[in-house]
Amino acid sequence: MIAVAAFTLNAARAFPDGAPWGAANPTAEQNCATCHFDADPIRDSEALVISGLPLNPAPGTIYELKIILEDPDTVTAGFQLIAQAADQEAGAFVSTEAGIEYIGAVIRSTVPLRSDAGVSWNVEWRAPTVIVSPIVFYIAASAANDDGSPFGDTIHFRSYELTVD
């Protein structure tokens, strides 16, 4: 019992500043479901939406995006979003909301958001100045029960592909 409790505390505190960069991609070796492993992750989750994302982005344009998680079991939540492109840079994210940090084409929450009034985050994405190949957005969100352990949480994954005009 003591070993299980120690494992639980260590797993819950493994990344106190947020998930590792790149964890939103469900095919990554270390993704969000690696630490939140109690339930099977939901791939292509319809409960996870990015509104404001263009189908065909205009080069250099800034898009205001809203990440929305609609899981009724959520007590606290967090997210990570990645933009990737094969033959080009994938743009850059920014946000002025507290508890969100970003590095280029990756953005994540670092402080759990309580679900009292719904769960959503506002971010901006600047499209690359040259777009020659599709850009894929990988989004992951944790619908957590706020007990500080990896148990009882659900990870939602979804991806979006933006096309080239």
Considering the entire predicted model, what is its pTM?
A: 0.84
Can you give the length of the chain in residues?
Answer: 165
Domain residue limits at 64: 2-162
CATH number of 133's domain: 2.60.40.4060
112-159 pLDDT, tens digit per residue, is 888 876 799 999 999 999 999 999 999 999 999 988 887 888 989 999
- Tens of pLDDT along 57-77? 999 999 999 999 999 989 999
6 vs 127: CA distance, rounded Å: 44
Q: pLDDT digit string (tens) for 110-120?
A: 888 888 767 99
Looking at the structure of the chain, the number of domains it has is: 1
Segment 17-26, tens digit of pLDDT: 667 777 777 6
Cα 86 from Cα 64, distance rounded (Å):
23
Which residues are CB-contacts of 117 (< 8 A; sequence separation ≥ 6)?
Answer: none
Which residue(s) pair with 64 in the sheet?
Answer: 124
The residue-averaged pLDDT of 99-106 equals 94
